[in-house]
Amino acid sequence: MELISAHTKIVKNIAQQLGFNYCGIAKATPLNEDAKRLENWLQKGFHGKMKYMENHFDLRINPQKLVPGAKSVITLMQNYFPTEQQKTNTPHIAKYAYGKDYHFIIKDKLHEFLFELNTQIGEITGRGFVDSAPVLERAWAVKSGLGWVGKNGNLITKQSGSFYFIATLIVDIQLNYDDPYAKDYCGSCTKCIDSCPTNAILPNKTINGSKCISYFTIELKDELLPNEMKDKFNNWMFGCDVCQDVCPWNRFSKPNTDTDFTPIPEILNLSTKEWEAISEESFKKIFKYSPLKRSKYNGIIRNIKFIQQ
């Protein structure tokens, strides 16, 4: 037990040293209840054209399929609430995309995390994931005591809201496990449901992804966006933060201190006309390290034209 406690302390210390705001640990077991919810969600077609959501179902619900011999799931959270906000007359961009692409930044941290674990504990097997592999990171965040899943589907912390990236590290060593988060502090509040521009938030913490603005502006690769969504985007051109912006718990959000997430000036300041006039060459140069690359130049121009119709 002393060795397990010592290893757990090392894990928590590394998380702090690497700049993660939260670190929780859960036992690596199959997520049977979450598996049922995911299967039901997929059967209803709430994933739209995101066919990748149907892949690797067994991997999503069982960490031991991802890391043979897995004993612990470490959940890490990093604040991305920006230091500055966009000008009100600019096309809206989700706050997570203000700075550099978090996939690369947090992936690097996870590699460093595993290196430190191997250095300080000994040879272990582990894999790190950040929003790009079949891992139910919010379920693990709840199991490791970091917060609850709100009605808007986001992981909410009581101390500082929901503007966080969530990363998962699955390892084959036993650690001390945190108690699962047992309470739900959303109460009778329905601000996120009432405020969603496209009515994508359903009861029972279910999100119809195929109606979400983030789905249309980022995930959907069609040349044209559906006519029935005209005038419903509320000037959002990449992602959407409405359900987080109206959440009362986000009044506790504090600006992050990571320079990698410093807002790109153009994201804060470009007007609609300037976005419309931007060349593909300029776009690739300015947003070389930005999440906006995910929609590519043509997708961004498509979105801009759609919200201006």
Query: Catalytic residue positions?
Result: 131
Helix axes 102-120, 2-17, angle to 10 degrees: 150
Report how far Cα 140 is from the mean position of its chain's Cα atoms: 13
Whether the CB-CB separation of 60 and 157 falls below 8 Å is answered with no
The residues facing 24 across adjacent strands are 75
* Structure tokens given for 137: 């990171």
Per the listing, tokens 């994201």 go with: 267
* Structure tokens given for 125: 């097997």
Whether the CB-CB separation of 123 and 156 falls below 8 Å is answered with no
d(CA 208, CA 41): 8
- Type of residue found at 286: I
Radius of gyration of the chain (CA): 20
Burial of 185 (0-12, 13-18, 19+ CB in 10 A): middle
Question: H or E element: which one contains 75?
Answer: strand 72-79
Burial of 121 (0-12, 13-18, 19+ CB in 10 A): middle
Whether the CB-CB separation of 212 and 206 falls below 8 Å is answered with no
